[in-house]
Amino acid sequence: MKKLRKIAERLAEYILTASGAVTSIAILLIVVFLFREGLGLFKSPVVEKGYALFVNSANPVQSLAPEQIKAIFDREITDWSSVGGRNEAIRVFRFDEVFSLYSDQELDAENDYRLLPEKLAEIVAADPSIVAYLSEQYAPAEGKGVKIVQTGTISPADYFGGREWMPTATPTAQFGVLPLVLGTLLVSLVAILIALPLGLGVAIYLSELAGERMRKLLKPAIELLAGIPSVVYGFFGLVVLVPLVQRTFGLDVGETALTGSLILAIMALPTIITVAEDAMRNTPLAMRQASLALGATHWQTIYKVVIPYSLSGISAAVVLGIGRAIGETMAVLMVTGNAAVMPRSLFESVRTIPATIAAELGEAPSGGAHYQALFMLGCILFVITMIISITAEAISKRKHTAGV
Q: DSSP letter for 206, please.
A: I
CB 227 within 8 A of CB 326: no
In terms of DSSP bridges, do strands 130-135 and 91-94 run parallel, antiparallel, or are they unpaired?
parallel
CB 365 within 8 A of CB 355: no
CB 117 within 8 A of CB 135: no
Taking 50 as the pLDDT cut, the residues of the chain under it are 402-404
CB 149 within 8 A of CB 63: yes
Amino acid in position 27: I
Among 359, 326, 373, 323, residue whose Cα is nearest residue 185? 326
pLDDT digits (tens, 9 = 90+) for 243-254: 999 999 988 889
In the chain, DSSP finds a helix count (H) and a strand count (E) of: 18, 6
Instruction: Enumerate domains of the chain plus CATH numbers.
Output: 51-153 (3.40.190.10), 178-403 (1.10.3720.10)
CB 173 within 8 A of CB 166: yes
Among 336, 363, 365, residue whose Cα is nearest residue 351? 336
Q: How far apart are CA 126 and CA 146, in angstroms?
A: 9
What's phi and psi for 52, nearest 5 deg?
A: -155, 165
CB 47 within 8 A of CB 69: yes
Q: How far apart are CA 166 and CA 9, in angstroms?
A: 58
Among 231, 236, 210, 237, residue whose Cα is nearest residue 221? 210
What's phi and psi for 195, nearest 5 deg?
A: -80, -35
Q: Is 134 exposed, middle or buried (0-12, 13-18, 19+ CB in 10 A)?
A: buried
Which residues, 6 or more positions from 51, have their beta carbon under 8 angstroms from its beta carbon? 95, 133, 134, 135, 136, 171
Its pTM stands at 0.85
Q: What is the pLDDT of residue 404?
A: 45
Q: What is the pLDDT of residue 209?
A: 85
Q: What is the pLDDT of residue 20?
A: 86
